[in-house]
Amino acid sequence: MKFYAHTDGSMNRKDWQLLRDHLSGVAHRAAGYAKDFQAGQLAFAAGLLHDLGKYSLEFQQRLQGEHIRVDHSTAGAQEAEKYYGKALGRILAYVVAGHHAGLNDYGSLAAESSLAARLNKGSIPDYQAYRKELLKWPDLGSFRLPIKPFPGQQGFSLAFFIRMLYSCLVDADFLDTEEYCQPEKGAARGKYPSPDQMLQKLEQYLQQLLASALDTPINRERAAILDQCREKANFPPGFFTLTVPTGGGKTLSSLAFALGHAVRHRLERVIYVIPFTSIIEQNAKVFREAVGEEAVLEHHSNFQYPEQEDEDWTTPAAKLRLAAENWDAPLVVTTNVQFFESLFANRAARCRKLHNIARSVVILDEAQMIPTDYLHPCLAALVELVRHYEASVVICTATQPALEGLLPRGIKPVELAPDPMRLYETFKRVRVIFLGEMNDEDLAARIKDLSQVLCIVNTRKHAWELFRKIRDLQGSYHLSALMCPVHRSAVLGEIRQRLETGEACRVVSTQLIEAGVDVDFPVVFRA
């Protein structure tokens, strides 16, 4: 009897996908992903085990059209622990049992969906027919977990490793299934420019910028920052900081470091993590100009790649939509929320991308915006990426958070900028005056007296109430995160245009404008 994994929708089994081929395909893909963190053998075993329950007669009957539900993932989890024991076998059991429903806690027998209950479940269909296929489990006798946790971090490191292994399995499963069910979609994946090709484009772009720049003290400092980032790209992978005042060119300098570092150490991609979508749109536009549109994946809640029936998967937009599923693009621009929630996720779709964060350069722009309540777990995840997954992390901001007491002993970030304190003196262009308490009527009167002015307040309600007092003046604008992203981008475009041409421009905004939005006002009021 032949056993199948998937059908093509017809009753002609000649073109159905053999289960043996699917297990082998997933095993080899998963092993290829996990080799980046020395876990290829374990991922190979997970790939062979994940659909073992499809060897049951009940599942084969389901493929033939019978309307029955079959638990096909518990079998592989149970077999993993039987064969490999409660150490490696338990790790495999977590990822195999959860490859559809998501990673669950071990829990107790009372919770039906817990791993404990799944491993003790006795009413699963008989899957022993797999033995007739002569499937051979890999020998893991000499395998050792490739993690060396810091004291007190053993549990966190193991959980992180399981999630990474899970990512390798679920992405491999998605892609092998896609190759059979939608071959045109699978064929369109990949084929991106390499970091080396992107670096060459970036260098050409930077040379054009430098050639057209005026010879001023500020521009000379920007060039010095860029040179330091290029030079330090040769440093070994690890933790870095880039402490550059506003206006110092850290966006392109950090990209030059990241691509140079990736080329030097054969890393896979650059992931640029930004707190606000308003800055993402701004930076992604710069990156597309610098390295080409086909290289840049913009992945956040406000950006939708259009989906169409009978889609041509070879178009740039369609390819980027595919890349958003697992971040296999060479330059990913995303939000803090998308990045960190994925690192702590347990669902298959959210976790697919995790293995592609290994061997990447991760740049955290405006890192001071990470909420203090989440700083410890976020830093712990970054430490794992650097220590065990061959990633480099750059904490990039004009106002570095105090990390010395939060990072484990032995991890000391390398500063990329030349003498940050001196840079702050060079770039000092702001005089701060304390005005004391002021009511909205007086503040609105001051705003009306100025032609170009920005006022930043702390709440959306306050921003709207203050804006209503000046809205009748020409060139008055309101900004908040509640605005539709397209509308907000259009308003920012009008604001920049008015500032450049010297027209009246009075803006009342929430703090969203403070995190790297590229505008320059002669006068700013800050509540």
The CATH number for 300's domain is 3.40.50.300
Same-domain check for residues 259 and 162: no
pLDDT band at 13 (very low <50, low <70, confident <90, very high): confident
Q: Which residue has the higher pLDDT, 92 or 220?
A: 92
Residue 189 lies in a domain: no
Which residues face 239 on adjacent strands? 393
Predicted local confidence at residue 310, as pLDDT: 58
Residue 186 lies in a domain: no
Q: Which residue has the higher pLDDT, 149 or 517?
A: 149
Same-domain check for residues 364 and 474: no
Last residue of a domain, one of 137, 156, 181: 181
DSSP character string of 277-306:
HHHHHHHHHHHHHHH-GGGEEEESTT----
Helix (H, G, I), strand (E, B), or coil: what is residue 1? coil
Q: How many independent structural domains does the chain possess?
A: 3
Single pTM value for the model: 0.86
Residue 498 lies in a domain: yes
Task: Give the pLDDT mean for 321-325.
Answer: 89
Q: pLDDT digit string (tens) for 131-185? A: 988 778 999 999 999 999 888 889 999 999 999 999 999 999 999 999 999 998 8
Same-domain check for residues 444 and 400: no
Residue 209 burial (C-beta neighbours within 10 Å; 0-12, 13-18, 19+): middle
Same-domain check for residues 236 and 99: no
Last residue of a domain, one of 181, 214, 234: 181
The widest CA-to-CA distance across the chain, in whole angstroms, is 86
Same-domain check for residues 258 and 381: yes
Query: Could you list the residue range(s) of the whole structural domain that residue 59 is in?
Result: 4-181
Same-domain check for residues 419 and 459: no
DSSP character string of 14-75:
GGSEEHHHHHHHHHHHHHHHHGGGT-HHHHHHHHHHTTGGGGSHHHHHHHTT-------SHH
Same-domain check for residues 283 and 355: yes
Same-domain check for residues 157 and 37: yes
Q: pLDDT digit string (tens) for 258-310? A: 999 999 999 999 999 998 877 888 889 999 999 999 999 998 766 655 555 55
Same-domain check for residues 421 and 447: no
Which amino acid is present at 151?
P
Same-domain check for residues 252 and 106: no
Task: Give the pLDDT mean for 459-485.
Answer: 92
Last residue of a domain, one of 128, 153, 181: 181
Same-domain check for residues 218 and 118: no
CATH number for the domain spanning 16: value is 1.10.3210
